[in-house]
């Protein structure tokens, strides 16, 4: 059986290191901090260095609010599209994708009162 070349060994080690660094760097963000997912939260995200792979945790009283991931139009209009997945556990977690991500509460009037965030790409 042939021995792997130094180049192959180096590539495997580099890939293993990259995977370890990605795992270590992920951060869990409680949306709204100590207040949680509530009214007036819009803008909370502006000074946070949220990266792809980080987790956003929406904490709130079940039955009082919900969380729906939407596109920019849904964010601007405070409206989720038909068939959107509505999360309502009070402890909902989303992994940040690459690019922008938008979240709203679809209870009547809640989004309009600031229960929405738009996470910019980093």
**How confident is the model over 23-57, as pLDDT tens digits?**
557 899 999 999 999 999 989 998 899 999 999 99
C-alpha 87/C-alpha 64 separation (Å) is 12
Please check whether residue 72 lies inside any domain of the structure. Answer: yes
Q: What is the CATH number of the domain that holds 38?
A: 2.60.40.420
Domains: count for the chain: 1
Specify whether the CB–CB gap between 89 and 68 falls below 8 A. Answer: no
* 3-class DSSP state of 95: strand
Lookup: tokens for 20: 């370890």
The low-confidence residues of the chain, meaning pLDDT below 70, are: 1-2, 4-24, 122
C-alpha 116/C-alpha 27 separation (Å) is 20
Residue 99 has a pLDDT of 87
- Pairing label, strands 68-70, 101-104: antiparallel
Please check whether residue 42 lies inside any domain of the structure. Answer: yes
Task: Report yes or no on whether pTM surpasses 0.85.
Answer: no
Please check whether residue 31 lies inside any domain of the structure. Answer: yes
Residue 22 has a pLDDT of 47
Domain span at residue 78 reads 25-119
Residue 16 has a pLDDT of 59
Residue 51 has a pLDDT of 93
Specify whether the CB–CB gap between 25 and 53 falls below 8 A. Answer: yes
């Amino acid at each position: 059986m042939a021995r792997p070349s130094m180049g192959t060994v180096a590539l495997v080690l580099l890939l293993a290191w990259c995977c370890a660094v990605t795992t270590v760097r992920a951060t869990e963000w409680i949306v709204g901090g100590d207040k949680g997912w509530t009214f007036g939260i819009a803008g909370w995200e502006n000074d946070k260095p949220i990266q792809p792979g980080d987790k956003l945790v929406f904490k709130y009283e079940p039955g009082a609010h919900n969380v729906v991931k939407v596109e920019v139009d849904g964010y601007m209009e405070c409206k989720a599209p038909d068939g959107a997945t509505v999360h309502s556990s009070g402890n909902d977690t989303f992994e940040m994708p690459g690019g922008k991500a938008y979240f709203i509460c679809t209870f009547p009037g809640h989004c309009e009162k600031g229960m929405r965030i738009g996470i910019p790409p980093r």
